[in-house]
Structure 1
Amino acid sequence: MNYDTFVDQVAQRTRTSPEQAVVLTRAALQTLAERLTGGEMLDLAAQLPKPLQVVVKPAPGDESAERFGAAEFVARVAQRAGVPEPAARDAARAVFTTLREAISGGEFDDVVTQLPRDYREMVEPAMAPGATLRRG
């Protein structure tokens, strides 16, 4: 999936402008990158469009993942994107669903296995039947 398609999918799912979808996408991916190990971030980055790779690539030697739950994930996305938490939660769901379409199923599963159970509300819509239909 190319960058424009990724952003357009997030914009459609969040019912926002493409410009706002870029902000939401970057905020969600940057927060996700903090939650993943360095090796997983590199694997994920390798499958993303170039403009999004820089958002998730770890600093050299940074292998550790921060441990925080879904509420903190949403709070960080909200702060980064400058939106209320309900909008950040919707954006996270939209980004996870789009991510599921953009990367291989095995890589998406690897990402999800690093997240605790309280992330289910955000991740499960991405795994729902029909969520992986590719467009364009």
Structure 2
Amino acid sequence: MDCDEFIARVRERGEYRSTDEAQKITEDVLEVLGQRIDAGQAEDLASRMPDPLGRALTGPGRRQPEEFGIEEFYRRVADRTGARPRTAQWDAGAVLTTVADSVTGGELDRFVSRLPAGYAVLFGRADPAG
């Protein structure tokens, strides 16, 4: 899937008003995800993403991964997007289910299994802890 198709899917799923809004939300969600995962995971996932979206995971400001749960993930997305946490949850789901569409099942399952409880549902997977 190319970048335009990826953003079009996010726009449709998130019911955003414009392509620019969908693009910004996508970059914000991926940047927060990039804060949570280690460099190897970020590089691997970025290699499966259309350019330039993968760079949001591996950007120049990347530091050591931080450990935080799903509620903190939503809070960080909300801070970046200026939305409420419930809207941030919607935004994250729109982006990450689209990520799931661009990564093969086994690869995605391995990636998601390394995240804490609660993240799987954002990728359209059953939460093994729930």
Partners in 1 of 2:24 and 2:61 — Cα distance? 25
Q: Which gives a bigger RCO, structure 1 or 2 (Cα 8 Å, sep 6+)?
A: 1
Contact 1:36-1:111 within 8 A present in 2 as well: no
Asked whether 1:24 is paired with 2:22, we answer: no
Runs of 4+ in 1 over 4 A off after TM superposition: 58-62
Structure 2 residue aligned with 1:47: 48
User: Would the alpha carbon gap of residues 121 and 107 (structure 1) be closer, same or farther in structure 2, given more than 3 Å must change?
Assistant: closer
Stretches of structure 1 that go unaligned for 5 or more consecutive residues are: 129-136
Contact 1:44-1:107 within 8 A present in 2 as well: no
User: Would the alpha carbon gap of residues 61 and 117 (structure 1) be closer, same or farther in structure 2, given more than 3 Å must change?
Assistant: closer
Structure 2 residue aligned with 1:80: 80
Task: Indicate the larger mover: 76-85 or 6-15.
Answer: 76-85
Using structure 2 for the length normalisation, give the TM-score. Answer: 0.85
Residues 24-47 of structure 1, C-alpha deviations (whole Å, 9 max, x = no match):
111111111111111111101111
3-state SS, counterpart of residue 52 of structure 2: helix
Q: Percent identity?
A: 34
Structure 1 residue aligned with 2:34: 33
Q: Aligned-pair distance for 1:58?
A: 5.7
1:1-136 equivalent positions in 2, closer than 5 A: 1-16=1-16, 17-57=18-58, 64-123=64-123, 126-127=124-125
Partners in 2 of 1:47 and 1:101 — Cα distance? 10
Using structure 1 for the length normalisation, give the TM-score. Answer: 0.82
3-state SS, counterpart of residue 54 of structure 2: helix
Matched AA of 2:111: V
Q: Aligned-pair distance for 1:59?
A: 5.2
Report how many residues are paired.
125
